[in-house]
């Protein structure tokens, strides 16, 4: 079964600075999808960004971008110009194209300091 590992339980960043959250995964599949979700204190799970494994180009969504290294099975999230509203739990997730379910990492709690 696929596993997703987030090795940083907590991270902090100064407002307006850049922070990178790490994620690695284990799979034997060649085609799959990767996601980053944000969970603020409201507990709503919000999709931040997604990456298709067959695409080499890294996905970007405004201040959020990923560094996808397929061979290394690494999928990090970079948040630029951090804002107070970015403070949340961030979950990395893997979705198989074979069985369509999604596996989540344990999460990284991001604190943004004013």
Q: Which of residues 81-100 bind another protein (CB under 8 A)?
A: 91, 93, 95, 97, 99-100
Part in contact with another protein (CB under 8 A); list of ranges 14-22, 46-54, 70-78, 79-87: 46-54
d(CA 52, CA 59): 9
Residues paired with 64 in a beta bridge: 61, 79
Could you say whether residue 43 binds another protein (CB under 8 A)?
yes
In the set 13, 19, 23, 35, which binds another protein (CB under 8 A)? 35
d(CA 6, CA 107): 6
Could you say whether residue 70 binds another protein (CB under 8 A)?
no
Please spell the DSSP secondary structure of 22-62, one letter per residue. --EEE-S-SSEEEEEEEE-TT---EEEEEEETT--SPPEET
Q: How far is the CB of 67 from another protein (least distance, A)?
A: 19
Residues that bind another protein (CB under 8 A): 33, 35, 37, 42-45, 47, 50, 52, 91, 93, 95, 97, 99-107
């Amino acid at each position: 079964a696929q596993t997703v590992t987030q090795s940083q339980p907590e991270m902090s960043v100064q407002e307006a600075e850049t922070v990178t959250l790490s994620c690695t995964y284990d799979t034997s599949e060649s085609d799959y999808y990767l996601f980053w979700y944000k969970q603020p204190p409201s507990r709503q799970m919000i999709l931040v960004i997604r990456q298709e494994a067959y695409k080499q180009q890294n996905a970007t969504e405004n201040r959020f971008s990923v560094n996808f290294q397929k061979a290394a099975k690494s999928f990090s999230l970079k948040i630029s110009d951090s804002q107070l509203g970015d403070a949340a739990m961030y979950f990395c997730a893997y979705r198989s194209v074979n069985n369509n379910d999604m596996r989540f990492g344990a999460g990284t709690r991001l604190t943004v300091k004013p």
